[in-house]
Amino acid sequence: MRKVIIDCDPGIDDAFALAHMALDDSVEIVGLCSVHGNSYLKNTTKNLKFAAKQMSLDVPIGLGSADPIIGKAEDTDWHGENGFGGLEAVTDDYFEGEYDYAWDMMYDLVSQAPGEISVVALGPVTNLALTMKKYPDFVELVKDIWIMGGTTLVGNALPNSEYNFYSDPFAAKIVLESSAKCHIIGLNATEQTGMNEEELDGLVDAYAAHFPFLKEMVKHYKHMYDISGYDHYIIHDLAATYAFAQRDAVEFSNPPVDVAVTQGPHYGRLLVDRRPYSDNPQTQYVAEKMDAQKFYDYILQVAH
Ligand SMILES: [Ca+2]
């Protein structure tokens, strides 16, 4: 079993990714962290606790950062007023095993099992950057990092910038410049897992059979796709957890990467150096190709 900490900003697609990881027998979730992103931290934390309870994930939860490294958090209509498409996530304020802060929790967990724990980050990577700053040896203790973020093609926050990187490009830069082994699963890859309505409904039914709340919240997500000009539906965070679970089914390249942090039209843009004479780094991998059918079959298989 692969041990994993999930660092997320639930978020409708985060909830599906959590459901996938909770049901996947090859994965053991050892910790959860909240972060600003799809909504404000108070909402994403509440939503994470609610999802964890629904999924019987009895693991430590660390409270993450309310704001990016520089600037203030924004939220997005895409996930509704509270991040869960308006679904009221009611849960106890106290959650067993709760940590005060995500960075202390992540460091404690990886220290207890050096080289064994992966981090899957499904929101802005502020928590990871703060962990690396507070505990420099974290990068040697963590097994590897999987990030849903960035794009080598079309963006969603800006024409060329993806929302998670746009929400905290400084954090993304810190993480990608570290010596930790990072897998970047950007929109250019997740978009390849687009589903038609029938496929989406099939996936939702399969997961809602285990966790009924998913069915209610996905209505808002679907609506946003319908009014935004997309002809397919994508659950980005689920594509990222699929890449983690099925590494060999996804094609990665390892070009030098950077993140644009200058204010302006490229803020948060993932920069990929594809010049043939550039040296390939040893620790950063960019997802390039995902097979929609393999993705769909695996995701359904896990839920059945
Ligand atoms: Ca997310």
Give the DSSP per-residue string, 212-233: THHHHHHHHHHHHHHHTT-SSB
Please name the residue that has the structure tokens 């950057």: 129
Take residue 56 and report the two structure tokens written for it.
């019987």
When the candidates are 2.120.10.90, 1.10.150.20, 3.30.70.60, 3.90.245.10, the CATH number that belongs to 2-303 is 3.90.245.10
Q: Binning pLDDT at 50, 70 and 90, where does residue 104 land?
A: very high
Task: Report how far ligand 1's centroid is from the alpha carbon of 278 (Å).
Answer: 32
Length of the chain: 304
Q: What is the dihedral of CA 169, 10, 95, 114, to 10 degrees?
A: -50
Rounded (to 5) percent helix, strand, coil in the chain = 40, 15, 40
Q: Which token pair is 289?
A: 């190709």
Compute the radius of gyration of the chain from its Cα atoms.
17
The mean per-residue pLDDT over the stretch 179-185 comes to 97
Ligand 1: distance of its center to the CA of 275 in Å?
Answer: 31
What type of residue is 199? E
Average pLDDT over the chain reads: 93
Average pLDDT over residues 240-265: 96
Q: Six-digit token pair at 145?
A: 């990092």
* Neighbouring-strand partners of residue 257: 272
Looking at the chain, the number of H-run helices and the number of E-run strands are 12, 11
**What pLDDT does 99 receive?**
73
Is pLDDT of 190 > 60?
yes
**In this prediction, what percent of the chain has a pLDDT beyond 90?**
83
**What is the CA(277)–ligand 1 centre distance, in A?**
35
Instruction: Find the mean pLDDT for residues 217-243.
Output: 92
Q: Which residue type, as a one-letter code, is found at position 171?
A: A
Res 124 pLDDT > 80: yes
CA of 148 to the centre of ligand 1 (A): 8
Place of tokens 């909504």: 39
Answer whether residue 94 shows pLDDT above 60. no
Is residue 220 annotated as a catalytic residue, yes or no? no
Of the listed 36, 183, 220, 236, which one is catalytic? 236
The alpha carbon of 241 and the centre of ligand 1 are apart by a number of angstroms equal to 11
Confidence of residue 96 (pLDDT cuts 50, 70, 90): low
161 band by pLDDT with thresholds 50, 70 and 90: very high
pLDDT at 81: 76
Question: Residue 189 above 90 pLDDT?
Answer: yes
* Average pLDDT value for residue range 105-117: 98
| Count of C-beta atoms within a 10 Å radius of residue 271 | 16
Band (169; pLDDT cuts 50, 70, 90): very high
Sheet of 182-185, strands arranged across = 98-99, 61-62, 27-34, 2-8, 117-121, 144-148, 182-185, 284-289, 251-253
